[in-house]
Amino acid sequence: MPDHFSRANDISGRVPVVLAIAGFDPSGGAGLIADIKTLGALGCTPVAAITSLTFQNSSGVRGAIHQTAESLRSQLLPLIEAFEIDAIKIGMLPTREIVEEVVRLILEKKLSAPVIDPVMHSSSGFELMNAEAVAALLTELMPLAELITPNIPEAEALTGTTIADENAMRLAAGKLREMGARAALVKGGHLKEQRSGRRSEFRQALDILDNKGAVTVFRSDWIDGPPARGTGCMLSSAIAAGLARRLKLEDAIRAARSFVARAISDPPEIET
């Protein structure tokens, strides 16, 4: 287990349980399989519920069958009854009824404030969340969350602003808070060009957190390599794992960023 997580506070001597609610990617590159692998690697017990069964591989999404509110509730109730859930990560929420069912269960069962990764489109452009679901996310679910973690295209869609630089990222994170988020982490991986002061231009991994008005800028070296799928799923799951281990939000994000950086720089070799 990475050092940041192993130094986290113990939870009464037991393994923390993290609930992942997301879409299922059969190829394992993103969605629930990526969540489960991340949570297991970080010493948590993962439990999970599917919001949508997608048809995809590394070349793109070809379609999806979304769950109903009833089927999602039927998946979640046995888990909530059987486990003491320490943190929740939420990914793909394709429809308004799915968003509203998640909200209903959080309030009914007094569940932990979730980490939300607002998955709106696949990297190949397939719509994963319809407009009514986005509206319900903003008005009903986001105010219940511990953190929302949009990338730049998602932050632009949610806030209606254009994000071209670090200052715009700060403004977008602040606007998400004004819209009801407790904390917002705007991820800068999609920036075409990023600056470090006025000295020189180079590519960085840059994320900006606005946590109840306190802004933290996370910077690290950019890792060159082939395009990586599922990094947003991994990051939000790793943050949830840190929160389950009672790390402060800023520390959970630092630990999660380090975990994802290692996964990108040293991906597992898969025989074909």
Task: For each of the domains in the chain, give its residue range(s) and CATH number, in order of start.
Answer: 14-264 (3.40.1190.20)
Q: Which of 82-96, 118-132, 154-168, 192-206 has the lowest mean pLDDT?
A: 192-206
What integer pLDDT is reported at residue 272 of this predicted model?
A: 36
What integer pLDDT is reported at residue 182 of this predicted model?
A: 96
Burial group, residue 11, by CB count within 10 angstroms (0-12, 13-18, 19+): middle
What share of the chain has pLDDT > 90, as a percent?
Answer: 69
Q: Where are the beta strands (DSSP E) in 6-145?
A: 17-24, 45-57, 60-66, 87-90, 115-116
What integer pLDDT is reported at residue 248 of this predicted model?
A: 97
pLDDT, one tens digit per residue, over 42-62 is: 999 999 999 999 898 877 788
Could you identify the residue written with the tokens 């903003």?
138
Q: Which of 67-81, 83-97, 122-136 has the lowest mean pLDDT?
A: 122-136
Phi, psi of 244, rounded to the nearest 5 degrees:
-65, -30
Q: Are 119 and 90 in contact (CB under 8 A)?
A: no
Residues 6+ apart with CB under 8 A from 216: 208, 209, 250, 253
Phi, psi of 5, rounded to the nearest 5 degrees:
-80, -35
Helix intervals (H) in 131-165: 131-136, 152-159
Q: Which of 18-27, 190-199, 219-228 has the lowest mean pLDDT?
A: 190-199
Residue 191: is its pLDDT beyond 80?
Answer: no
Provide the pLDDT confidence category of residue 167 given band limits of 50, 70 and 90. Answer: very high
- pTM for the full model? 0.89
Q: Where are the beta strands (DSSP E) in the chain?
A: 17-24, 45-57, 60-66, 87-90, 115-116, 147-148, 183-187, 195-196, 200-201, 204-211, 214-221
More confident residue, 264 or 70: 70
Residues 6+ apart with CB under 8 A from 110: none
Mean of per-residue pLDDT scores for the chain? 88
pLDDT, one tens digit per residue, over 194-210 is: 444 443 344 678 999 99
The closest of 37, 49, 33, 38 to 85, measured between CA atoms, is 49
Could you identify the residue written with the tokens 């060009």?
193
Question: What is the DSSP-derived secondary structure letter of residue 206?
Answer: E
